[in-house]
Amino acid sequence: MSGKDEAELSRLMRAAIAGDEKAYADFLHRIAALIRGFVRRKIVQGGVDPEDVVQETLLAIHVKRHTWRQDAPVLPWVYAIARFKLIDAFRRRGRRIEIDVDDIAETFAEPETETVSERDVHRALDTLPPAQRSVVSAISVEGHSIGETAAKFGISETAVRVSLHRGLAAIAKRFGRQ
């Protein structure tokens, strides 16, 4: 991980917070790959699926993005959240592990690609109220836009945005420390 990546990712995140969807998608893809590399390196024994931690971390990054100070580097913030969610994932599954809090291994995390299996985030999606669930599914799994989703369900775009926002917040909350 070089200073150039840090500068680029911070720039993307600033653009995203200003409302640039393309910059945000780019940021999330790159961050997801980095977190995946970090998490896989940290999980040496089984019991926790790395991809679950990747998704829970992305959700937390999303709902807590107002905690990033735009004049601070973005990667220490990202890795602090990833480490917290990783420890949480172990704790939730009743496993005690030691994670080196000041580990610098993350500095050398290499981007990695996803493996496919059943996901905790998907199971959490099933617990949402029907309206929120169908909106979140339409946009994520089916890949519709806000406008297409509004037309599909015959509701306003604002209603779609509200359902999406509340649905994501509710899913993120389910992964809060038990």
In the complex, which residues of this chain contact another protein (CB under 8 A)?
16-17, 19-21, 24-25, 28-29, 32, 51, 54-55, 58-60, 62-69, 72, 76-81, 83-84, 114, 116, 119, 121-122, 125, 136, 139-141, 143, 145-146, 161, 164-165, 168, 172-173, 176-178
CB of 146 to another protein, least distance (A): 6
Burial 153-169 (b: 16+ CB within 10 A, else e): eeeeeeebeebbebbbe
The whole-angstrom separation of Cα 99 and Cα 84 is 10
Nearer to another protein, 63 or 97 (CB): 63
Nearer to another protein, 54 or 109 (CB): 54
* Run of H or E including 148: helix 146-153
Nearer to another protein, 41 or 119 (CB): 119
CB of 95 to another protein, least distance (A): 19
Three-state DSSP at 74 gives helix
CB of 160 to another protein, least distance (A): 9
Q: What angle do helix axes 50-63 and 21-42 make, rounded to 10 degrees?
A: 140
CB of 47 to another protein, least distance (A): 20
The count of other CB atoms within 10 Å of the CB of residue 99 is 12
Which of these, 116, 119, 120, lies nearest to 174 by C-alpha position? 120
Nearer to another protein, 84 or 153 (CB): 84
Tokens describing residue 139 = 């946009």
CB of 97 to another protein, least distance (A): 16
Nearer to another protein, 59 or 89 (CB): 59
The whole-angstrom separation of Cα 77 and Cα 43 is 20
